[in-house]
Structure 1
Amino acid sequence: MMGALFRWVVCVIALATFTVAEDAHAHPEHSLVGGEDIRPGEILVEGMLDGRRDRIDLSSVDVSINGKIAKTDAQGHFAASVPRSAYYFVQISGERIFRSMQTFGNAEIADDSCHCLAIPAIELVARKKGRVELFFGGDSMAGRRYFSARRGEKAVLDRVTLDQDLDQLFTAIKPYFAHSDLASINLESVVAAEQPGPPAPKKYLFFSPPELPQALARAGIDHVSLGNNHTADYRDAGLRTTFDALDAADVAWSGAGMDVTEAERASRFKIAAEKLSIYGFVGWRGTWTPNQTATETKGGAAWGLRSVVEKVTRRERKAGYTPIMQFHGNMEYADRPSEMSLPRFRAAIEKGAPLVIGHHPHVTHGLEIYRGGLIAHSLGNFLFDQEHPHTHVTYGLKVWLENGKFLRAEVLPIQMLDYRPVPATGTMREAVLRRLYWLSAEMGTKLDRSGGHAVVWHKRPRESEPECKAPGPWHLASFAPACVDPEIEYGRNLVPRGDFENTRVSEATDRFWVSRNAGVDFRRRESESDGYMALLPEGASKASYLYSNSYIRDVSARDFTLETRIRVPRDVEIELIAKARPHETDKPTSSVKGEVVAAARLSASDDWQDLRLPFTRPEETLGKARAFRFILKFRFSDASDGGEKTIDIDDFALIEWPGADDQSDPTQAWRWTHSRAKAGEKLAAR
């Protein structure tokens, strides 16, 4: 990648402001590195490097934590005493390895046995002749809500400071791919300053500012796939402005064109002695006229019929290039690949592609090892303005090829925060990993872990399966499938951001939580090791509301429990309101108007109190409730405005209980975050 070294240095400097182990599989002895003075306000962070697979000389590897060089021994144990922070950014480098970086929160790596933070073993990849490192991100755009905001909020992008604002979209994620040999995303948008021409007759139309390609280039993105259902939103005029802006920024593109020949063209790259080509397709033509795919006489995206997939893959292989396919298919918000897309993905592998990257569902799918190649069926979102909370649980993918064959992939858990990608920590990381392990296991792919990331190799070593564990508070060292017990019912947290550990990253702030008659603030205790939310009522004489800015759509049950911890300065009555997602023909109603499904009363206390509110929603289809918004209504018993009114909230979870049918499949054991006795009594709390 051009300028990779320069970008690496810039990223190191930038991350200094980012309020920012085990032998290979067990906790390290704390004395192995030793000699590290711990000053007031600091904490010991330690971990382990794993270089066994490539037989890496670990004495030549450097580790830094939040910019401070860690002491490292020949066995790979490292340790550093660093100021307590919201996040700990670990950078690993050396002449004979591919650079590695990971981000951790406090609670997920806390080790009470040493009063330190212990990072699980991080696996390294050696640099060898014929190896290249690639990075892929999913669906991306920078229009629509990026320039508009709800009342009282600041827009993410401002026309006056647009270049700076665009760069800040990548601040937290850039270090993860700035050093890669090649980085690619799916650009699901026309690029234009304004509507460039007549729109296609469809409901959703996207265009992003012409400054975006330059920002992509500055961030380290080398290529974009345009084989998707939004490239032709403004027909040929929009295609031309998009191609021109990308060419001016020197960002390669493929997957679309002014005719079918150009649309089926691949972008070709040479990295050292390795020759790679990337080409893209969309899975369907569209029912409108003119539709979204290219023909001999009009522009559009390349239509990925199986015969075309096979033809282009064979062509690139015959030309001496390693073919990599990106495919925009499958169903939006679905968990698994469709019957139409799956054979097309596999056809590319069958004809010689070592790697297939999928997108379009806006949520992640599993990884599949197929005939020695890797299929990532959906990467989810990478840079998108969707507010649906299940689209915020996503990942980026690093892939290593060796002599044109798939070698290894590493999943970077990502949270979409403030419409931008940031490394996921805490329970947001848990949500990414549990979904990935579950859906990959369904496809026969077993994943390993490297630090806080998931890993898959072309051949998995014969290692023991992780022991199952009862669901409990999230901690990286105890990540495992649930031990399925017929006497126990298992559930899944639909709001994993409720630990409030990932609410502010660089310039990004969580927009999921909305209030009425109150303000919202995200705070940390003095040690900065634990985040929580503060609801700030405007007065005590009227009710205050806290609710989600979007409906919870990822619902697969009817029975739910809202659990949280609350600290209140005076007696308060609490109502839980559920507002069903309206049908398109319904008349709009107030955001906080719905059905009261549970209630409680808490007495004033300086201590945290547990709140547990079980409720049931009506069935809409096959045992599932309709999408809904949760609303918490608070009303103080003492209506006087004098005195403290702040309500503190932490460890918020909205748990769904799908029932026995979902628990009979052993792959589902990766999903569960909570459990209870089947009679309904709570057994294990989070």
Structure 2
Amino acid sequence: MRAEKPPEMRRAPLLFAMCAVAALLGCERPANVGAGLAPPPAVAPSAPPDASPPSPRDASPAAPASRAPADAAAAAPADAITLLAGGDVCLGKALGQELLRDPAHDLFASVAALFAAADVRFVNLENQLSDQGGETQHPRQPLVFTGPPAGADALARAGVDVVSLANNHMWDYGKGAFLETLDHLERAGVAYAGAGRTRLRAYAPVIVERRGFRVAVLAVTGIWNQGSLWQHPAREFVAAAERDGLAAAVRTARKQPGVDAVVVSYHGGTEYLDTPLPQARAVARAAIDAGADAFLGHHPHVLQGIELRRGRPIFYSLGNFIMKVRRTGPAVELGMLARLRLRRGAPPLAEICPVRSEGLGTVPLAADPRRAETEAAFLERMRHLAAFVDAEPAIGPFAADGCAPLEGSAAAAPAAPARNASAIR
């Protein structure tokens, strides 16, 4: 017999949809969603009402509140922008100690060229940012860690526009450290999705505007380290994954006037597993069917396969980006960036840019002294992973910048593979 969901989970689709609708319309909080919770701020990237003016990144949690840069007001709106999405970034543990020693250390220097070529840069931030008296990892619990406050500045210097905070490490040092994380990101001008000071804000999309083109970013987590998120106090602050509720939120964002694209970040699955879990598949496909332009998976710490659905890419796991993990080996070291050319009224053009973890940093394919070896290993890895997903695309030839197109991502019907393309089969 199918186990009955707890009351919190049965109410989740309605709750998620109500939060998303309220946030996007900029209206008052639904009466039955958490007594005493205030609506999200009308203006500024993930900032409280009394915060300083928004940064030039122009990200906002409420659709009506987004503001275009002053110099873009007279220009014709862009028909497309480029979003570069990275996988798991952990600024705790050894990386956190490095930032404590040298707060100006540039963790993202190796990918500066790729970042500079994008309009919007997104990563999954796999840690809190809090001052624990020099501690960046619990001495007796190695899976409990935090980045120092300087981590927010490192993200901002690199040009990261939006991070997802919807993940299983967002309560490692408790509520105080969680709220401190929001403070540091707001101070640095880095917008965040999937979390907030209220439930309404946590489920609200972040809207980023570039040259008149507006993309909504939603983030949710299906993993929580302290038991069920639905039954944990953090449910008021972190967005939990639920298929129908997420689909409703995507539809709401999609219908909002002025929103040109919707991107979903999902934290879930099983660590070091090649196969996407059925739950991840269901959530991803529901999000795409509801109107999402791309689905970005995090948490397994290894690459997982890519699907094209309705011409839109599903990245079940982007793998590690800037993260020192316990395990070693090619499967853990290989990750990828997803480069999405988001287009108004059309599916995105998708490219993948392999990266390789080395030491405390990452090496993009274009700068890899072992480029030929890494490229071959990456393609072999993707061929292996294709056995676990449907609608496998083909990877086109890699360009000088270390990125390759996903053939068929430009339209609902797959295009003919490029010459020398590697079919993921």
Question: TM-score, normalization: structure 2?
Answer: 0.71
- Given candidates 455, 459, 462, the residue that maps to 2:416 is 462
Q: Which amino acid aligns with 1:430?
A: A
Q: Deviations over 1:105-158 (max 9, x none)?
A: xxxxxxxxxxxxxxxxxxxxxxx941110000001111212356xxxxxxxx16
CA 1:146–1:297 in structure 2 vs 1: closer, same or farther (change >3 Å)?
Answer: closer
Partner of 2:83: 134
In the alignment, does 2:403 pair up with 1:453?
yes
| Cα 1:234/1:455, change in 2 over 3 Å | same
Q: Which residues of 2 match residues 254-653 of structure 1 at below 5 A?
A: 254-286=193-225, 288=227, 291-292=228-229, 299-320=236-257, 321=259, 322-386=261-325, 387-389=327-329, 390-424=331-365, 425-440=371-386, 442-443=389-390, 444-451=392-399, 452-456=402-406, 457-459=409-411, 460-463=414-417
The amino acid that maps onto 2:299 is H
Residue 264 of structure 1 and its aligned partner are, at CA, apart by: 0.5
Q: Aligned residue pairs: how many?
A: 333
Match of 2:130 among 192, 195, 201: 192
Q: Which runs of 5+ in 1 are unaligned?
A: 4-127, 149-156, 467-478, 482-665, 668-686
Q: Quick one: structure 1 residues 260 and 251, their matched pair in 2 at CA, closer, same or farther if it must change by over 3 Å?
A: same
Deviations 1:588-620 (A, max 9, x none): xxxxxxxxxxxxxxxxxxxxxxxxxxxxxxxxx
Q: Do 2:207 and 2:217's aligned partners in 1 also have CA atoms closer than 8 Å?
A: yes
Q: Distance in 1 between matches of 2:418 and 2:82?
A: 28
Q: Give the match's secondary structure for 1:275.
A: strand
Calculate percent identity across the aligned residue pairs.
27
What SS does the corresponding residue of 1:159 show, helix, strand or coil? helix
How far apart are 1:455 and its partner, in Å?
1.1
For residues 25-65 of structure 1, what are the alpha-carbon distances to aligned partners after superposition, in whole Å with 9 as ceiling and x for unaligned?
Answer: xxxxxxxxxxxxxxxxxxxxxxxxxxxxxxxxxxxxxxxxx
Higher relative contact order (CA 8 A, sep 6+): 2
Partner deviation per Cα, 1:449-496 (whole Å, 9 max, x = no partner): 232533113244334785xxxxxxxxxxxx868xxxxxxxxxxxxxxx
CA distance, structure 2, for counterparts of residue 161 and residue 297 of structure 1: 32
Q: Distance in 1 between matches of 2:101 and 2:154?
A: 15
Helix, strand or coil for the counterpart of 2:109? coil
Cα offset for 1:295? 7.1
The aligned amino acid for 1:185 is V
- Between the aligned partners of 2:301 and 2:359, the Cα distance in structure 1 is 16
Q: Residues 136, 362 of structure 1: CA spacing in aligned structure 2 closer, same or farther, 3 A cutoff? A: same
Sort the Cα spacing of 1:174 and 1:437 in 2 relative to 1 into closer, same or farther, 3 A: farther
Q: Secondary structure at the match of 1:172?
A: helix
Separation in structure 2 between the aligned mates of residue 299 and residue 202 of structure 1, nearest angstrom? 25
CA distance 1:256–1:392, shift in 2 (3 Å) = same
8 Å contact from structure 2 (residues 160, 190) kept in 1: yes
Contact 2:96 2:148 in 1 (8 A): no
Contact 1:260 1:296 in 2 (8 A): no
Query: 1:235·1:299 contact (CA, 8 Å) conserved in 2?
Result: no
Structure showing greater Rg: 1
Alignment of 1:228-267 (within 5 A): 228-267=167-206
Change (3 A) 1:140 1:404: farther
Helix, strand or coil: the match of 2:397?
strand
Relative distance call for 1:344 and 1:160 in structure 2 (3 A) is closer
| Deviation of the 1:315 alpha carbon | 1.9
Indicate the RMSD between aligned Cα atoms, in angstroms.
2.9
Contact 1:256/1:294, CA 8 A, preserved across alignment: no
SS at match of 2:278: coil
Structure in which a larger fraction of residues adopt strand:
1
Report the CA distance between 1:298 and its aligned residue. Answer: 5.5
Q: Is the alpha carbon distance of 1:296 and 1:142 closer, same or farther for their aligned partners in structure 2, counting shifts above 3 Å?
A: closer
* 1:91-102 correspondence to structure 2 within 5 Å: none
Whether the 8 Å contact between 2:305 and 2:316 is mirrored in structure 1 is yes
Determine the C-alpha separation between the residues in 2 that align with 1:259 and 1:463: 47
C-alpha separation in 1, matches of 2:396 and 2:169: 35
Give the deviation of 1:372 after TM superposition: 2.3
Equivalent-residue separation in structure 1 for 2:132 and 2:345 (angstroms) = 41
Q: After the TM superposition, which parts of structure 1 deviate over 3 Å for at least 4 consecutive aligned residues?
A: 284-288, 291-300, 463-466
Does the CA contact (< 8 Å) of 1:229 and 1:301 recur in 2?
A: no
Check whether the contact 2:229–2:235 (CA below 8 A) recurs between aligned residues. no
State the Cα distance separating 1:336 from its structure 2 match.
2.0
Superposed displacement of residue 262, structure 1: 2.1
1: CA distance between counterparts of 2:360 and 2:275?
24
Instruction: Name the CA distance, whole Å, in 2 between partners of 1:464 and 1:411.
Output: 15
C-alpha displacement at 1:285, in angstroms? Answer: 4.5
When the two structures are superposed, what TM-score results if normalisation uses the length of structure 1? Answer: 0.45
Which secondary structure state, in structure 2, belongs to the residue aligned with residue 449 of structure 1?
A: coil
Report the Cα offset of residue 406 of structure 1: 2.5
Q: Deviations over 1:330-379 (max 9, x none)?
A: 11111121011111011111111111111100011122110221111110
**Matched-pair contact (CA < 8 Å) for 1:232–1:301:** no
Aligned residue in 2 for 1:576:
none
Question: What CA distance in whole angstroms lies between the structure 1 residues aligned with 2:384 and 2:323?
Answer: 25
Report the AA paired with residue 461 of structure 1: A
Q: How does 1:169-188 map to 2 (within 5 A)?
A: 169-188=107-126
Counterpart mapping for 1:644-663 below 5 A: none
1:235–1:300: 8 Å Cα contact kept in structure 2?
A: no
CA contact (8 A) 2:311 2:410 kept: yes
How far has the Cα of 1:206 moved from its partner?
Answer: 1.8
CA contact (8 A) 1:178 1:219 kept: no
Task: Give the CA deviation at 1:435.
Answer: 1.4
Give 1:422 shift: 1.4
Over 3 Å counting, the alpha-carbon distance change for 1:230 and 1:461 in structure 2 is same
Describe how 1:68-83 pairs up with structure 2 within 5 A. Answer: none
Q: Distance in 1 between matches of 2:101 and 2:396?
A: 46
What is the letter of the counterpart of residue 145 of structure 1? A
TM superposition shift of 1:256: 1.4
Contact 1:369 1:375 in 2 (8 A): yes
* CA drift at 1:303: 0.7
Unaligned runs of 5+ in 2: 1-54, 58-76, 366-370
CA shift for structure 1 position 243: 0.3
Q: Which amino acid aligns with 2:381?
A: R
Aligned CA distance change for structure 1 residues 454 and 182 (closer, same or farther; 3 Å): same
Q: Which residue of 2 aligns with 1:661?
A: none
